[in-house]
Amino acid sequence: MTVEMGETIKQKREEQGLSQAALAKLVGVEARQMRRYENGESHPTLPVAVKVATALGISVDELAGLSTHRVDLSGHWWASWQTSKDHEEVVTAQEVDIRQQGEQLRVETTTRGIAVEDGGYHWKGELRLWDNEVLIGWYAAEDGAVRSKGSFYFTVHPHGIHMIGRWVGMSYDGAIRTGWGAIGRTEEEAHSLIVQLKQEEQSGPDL
């Protein structure tokens, strides 16, 4: 089953709160041309279609109205991290909100997880979902006195119920540090995933 491209453009544009003129400006065409696309009076060339899809945060296939299934990771989660302070291991857990728009995800903490003096801080980041299997992105501390920033790599459970992976970045203990990371629906689940990852690391190289 397919949906007309014009309907897809209009629906996704309205979901993002964009006017026809605003979307047209992002794409580099006139507003009246964008109106023609949405009304089905004409179709964008491939280069323009790619720009429209990018501006709307969707794939070209989805823009063309082809049925696609993308795991939805939006919502409230718990994130657990294997990190260190003063070279002693610390496993933290904090609440995060994920807002997904197509393949792009924005992540922001809602709690620090642990006290500031123990290394807790707020951060935000962005991730991209690849083939419903992998998330790759970055994070940066939101607290002005904290310099931590780095990258994420997560694998996604086939049903989107949790994510596991690693972070690499700057921490209190140095410029390049890494550790396990896990995101689950509850604090207990996120913690247990870290425990599982540590056990599997000790038993062999493969996850």
> pLDDT tens digits, residue range 135-172?
999 999 998 778 889 999 999 998 899 999 999 998 77
Cα(74)–Cα(90) distance, rounded to whole angstroms? 27
| Res 185 pLDDT > 60 | yes
Is the pTM here over 0.85, yes or no?
no
Residue 109's CB is within 10 A of a number of other CB atoms, namely 20
**101 or 32, higher pLDDT:** 32
List phi, psi (to 5°) of 115.
Answer: -65, 155
- Asked if residue 54 lies in contact with residue 63, where contact means CB atoms within 8 angstroms, the answer is no
- Asked if residue 121 lies in contact with residue 143, where contact means CB atoms within 8 angstroms, the answer is yes
Cα(17)–Cα(88) distance, rounded to whole angstroms? 47
- pLDDT in the model for residue 3: 61
- pLDDT in the model for residue 137: 98
The structure tokens 């979901």 sit at 15
- Cross-strand pairs, 82: 91
- Give the model's confidence band at 79: pLDDT under 50 very low, under 70 low, under 90 confident, else very high: very high
Amino acid letter, residue 9: I
Sign of the alpha-carbon torsion through 22, 28, 33, 38: negative
Q: Using alpha carbons, select from 193, 182, 155, 196 the residue that is nearest to residue 96.
A: 182
